[in-house]
Structure 1
Amino acid sequence: MSYSEAQPVRISSEPAQLQALEPVLQKVRAAVGDVPALLTLAEDIGRTAPKPGEGNTAKLWELLASVTAVDVAAGRVLEPHLDALAILSQAGAEEPQEGTWGVFAAEGPGTKLEAKRTANGSYVLNGSKPWCSLAAQLDGAVITAHTEDNTRAAFAVDLKHQGVTAETPAWTSRGLQEIPSGTVHFDQVEARPVNHGNWYFQRPGFAWGGMGVAACWLGGAVAVARDYTDALTKAAANGREPDQIALASLGEIDRILATTTSHLAQTAERIDAGDLEGSDPDGPSPWPEALRIRGTVATAVERVQTLVTQNLGPGPLAFDEAYGKRMADLSLYIRQHHALRDDAQLGALALKGDRSW
């Protein structure tokens, strides 16, 4: 098990189409652990990457899944940059011609970021924002802030502004060590509104972006499954054929990944067909499908991880650097899913009639 493979993850494309990803994945493989190099790659990829809802959503998700399958942290670098570009495009705002961007929308106890309109009609940000990954190394970000009319709105911000101070967090996790997420402080930082009001949360792209994160999770699960098949193949070559338990586990993994991938492919097709564009929180909306996708993929990831670790035991966790890193990175990344709280939200929607069964 290593970073030697740079095999794309297929969602719906033909194998010949996926070959176009291989040069990019080779560059990702060479940049593992080198955040500046990964940021440069993200900037390059962003110039030509598809955007969700524009006809190639499945290809976007294949890109995200494939990069994450090479290295989970690399996917964690790429996804927010592409999401930021998509948000600006959806808002009809000018997209950055250079630099790498993030999306900072988390809230946390004891922190609050406020946006106030100045006398000349522009906005400035004051306060603090938690969970800002790589803020000190990014050029800009789409950031949500509390406005004077008691809503949260999105703003485009230059992170190199002199009023921006990024804390260095005490990151004790073994997962995503190269991508710590700390608190960023803003002091009279100029900000450009991204559309207006709570558009950021109401737009269909909010749900589409959440599904893009799930595509990254899927890529991590596929990589873990490939680690497992590689281990079984290597053992068989050394005279140790897989037993029934090992084969049953591989069969379950195959079933899980095939079903999950199919769900993503069908949803991407629906997005591009215009079936998931509603923005009315009380009417048709893509958000229930986002909750289904994220929950399904998160469950798949955790089950694949469990099956693989049960079968391979402690050896690769203790001695295989790439496998151990992938497991630790993916375990932390998947915690962006809100588990039972998201299921409760989905259940409330189903109870109101937003279901297909």
Structure 2
Amino acid sequence: MYDHSSDTDLRHLQLRLGGDLALRHLVEAGLDVLPMPGGGRTLARWRVLAEVAAHDLSLVKLFEGHTDALVIQAELGGASIAAAGARWATWCAEPPDARVMAEDEEGGGEDIRLSGTKAWCSGAAAVTHAVVSCWNRDGKPCLAMVEMDQPGVLVTGEGWHAVGMAASASVNVRFDRARARWLGQPGDYTQRPGFWQGGAGIAACWFGGAWGIARKVRGLMGRAPDAHRLAHLGAIDAALTPAAALLRETAAWIDRHPRDDARQVALRARLAVEQAANEVMSHAGRALGAGPLCRDPTFAQAMADLPVFLRQSHAERDLAALGSLAAPDDGEGPDSWKL
């Protein structure tokens, strides 16, 4: 499933990222064959995610979910229910008003039935299979693999009204005793090392979105930009550069500690990139004015998409969680505070 010996060719990826593009095209081209997180090439993985994000944030939302589903199956030893070329999603949001229940089939085994509504299902109409969070009869959180093209699966048009990230089509999906198969054991999804490693990978997607906006600003500055535009470009540089450095450092930490809890480094990276992305958007709009926001569809879409995608962050809750990890009075604070 994964090629651990060679990095995805970014030049090949860049050649493919042009014109109308869908998740299917990336999968068919084999560009979803990424290094496993924590396998020594985490940065190479994130560079691909960032490149796709710089091109299209809705596309990377689907692409990241697909590649995450492949990682989860590899980590938890699941025998895939899909043939090569399948397009996967990862749907593990658990809002209080949408819950999927799993029932064992008669005779036991790995086969189950899913019933209920799953919210925030990005790309539901574009994928062939999904890794879905659900709850067993004992009330424990579990994972299941489900094929989308079957009776008992309904992709609705409900649950998404935003202009930003509209192409991700993150709608509700209803399951009515749909056939599925267990993946791993109860609680495995959040307990595996890849959970926070993948969470840090989301920051690479956010970074890619900001990077794409920054590249657009640079290209629209004109031949002789005035001092005000240059000041905004300088502020963008000052925001992106340390965020990129922290992502590189985080990827290296994960590769050195592949089995360790990456929660702290992931939260730090996510929050820093979120702040940098907000800085980039603020200065991009002020540098270029209304013209590109109204007349450049790619720039306008990215500026609409990124604020919505960033709200996958838990904002102050994540800040509080990171603060709790830095709070213990055991010396001079985390090593990350030292030069």
Question: How far did 1:47 drift?
Answer: 5.2
Counterpart in the other structure of 1:86: 71
Do the aligned partners of 1:46 and 1:82 also contact (CA within 8 Å) in 2? no
Do the aligned partners of 1:46 and 1:81 also contact (CA within 8 Å) in 2? no
Question: How far did 1:336 drift?
Answer: 0.8
Cα 1:343–1:325 shift into 2, 3 Å: same
Question: How far did 1:25 drift?
Answer: 2.2
Runs of 4+ in 1 over 4 A off after TM superposition: none
- Which one of 313, 319, 333 corresponds to residue 289 of structure 2? 313
- Which one of 267, 285, 302 corresponds to residue 326 of structure 1? 302
TM score, norm. by length of structure 1:
0.85
Unaligned regions of 5+ residues in structure 2, if any?
A: 1-5
The code of the aligned residue for 1:120 comes to G
Cα 1:44–1:222 shift into 2, 3 Å: same
- In the alignment, the residues of structure 2 paired with residue 120 and residue 65 of structure 1 have an alpha-carbon distance, to the nearest angstrom, of 45
Deviations 1:196-220 (A, max 9, x none): 0101111110111111111011111
Cα 1:27–1:116 shift into 2, 3 Å: same
The code of the aligned residue for 1:106 comes to A
- In the alignment, the residues of structure 1 paired with residue 297 and residue 7 of structure 2 have an alpha-carbon distance, to the nearest angstrom, of 28
Deviations 1:259-312 (A, max 9, x none): 111111111112112x2523xxxxxx2111111111111111011000111121
Identity of aligned residues (%): 34
Do the aligned partners of 1:39 and 1:78 also contact (CA within 8 Å) in 2? no
Deviations 1:15-34 (A, max 9, x none): xx9993123222221224xx
- Which one of 37, 49, 60 corresponds to residue 52 of structure 1? 37
Do the aligned partners of 1:43 and 1:99 also contact (CA within 8 Å) in 2? no
Question: How far did 1:324 drift?
Answer: 0.3
- Partner of 1:135, secondary structure, is coil
The code of the aligned residue for 2:165 comes to L
The code of the aligned residue for 1:144 comes to S
Aligned residues: 324
Cα 1:227–1:256 shift into 2, 3 Å: same
- In the alignment, the residues of structure 1 paired with residue 31 and residue 56 of structure 2 have an alpha-carbon distance, to the nearest angstrom, of 18
1:212 equivalent in alignment to 2:201: yes
Counterpart in the other structure of 1:115: 102
Question: How far did 1:170 drift?
Answer: 6.3
Counterpart in the other structure of 1:342: 318
Paired residues for 1:150-169 under 5 Å: 150-169=139-158
TM score, norm. by length of structure 2:
0.89
- Which one of 268, 272, 281 corresponds to residue 296 of structure 1? 272
1:277 equivalent in alignment to 2:274: no
The code of the aligned residue for 2:23 comes to L
- Partner of 2:9, secondary structure, is helix
Question: How far did 1:169 drift?
Answer: 2.7
Deviations 1:124-146 (A, max 9, x none): 21111101012122111111001
Q: Supply the RMSD in Å over aligned alpha carbons.
A: 2.1
- In the alignment, the residues of structure 2 paired with residue 20 and residue 59 of structure 1 have an alpha-carbon distance, to the nearest angstrom, of 9
Counterpart in the other structure of 2:220: 231
Unaligned regions of 5+ residues in structure 1, if any?
A: 1-16, 279-284
1:242 equivalent in alignment to 2:226: yes
- In the alignment, the residues of structure 2 paired with residue 71 and residue 181 of structure 1 have an alpha-carbon distance, to the nearest angstrom, of 15
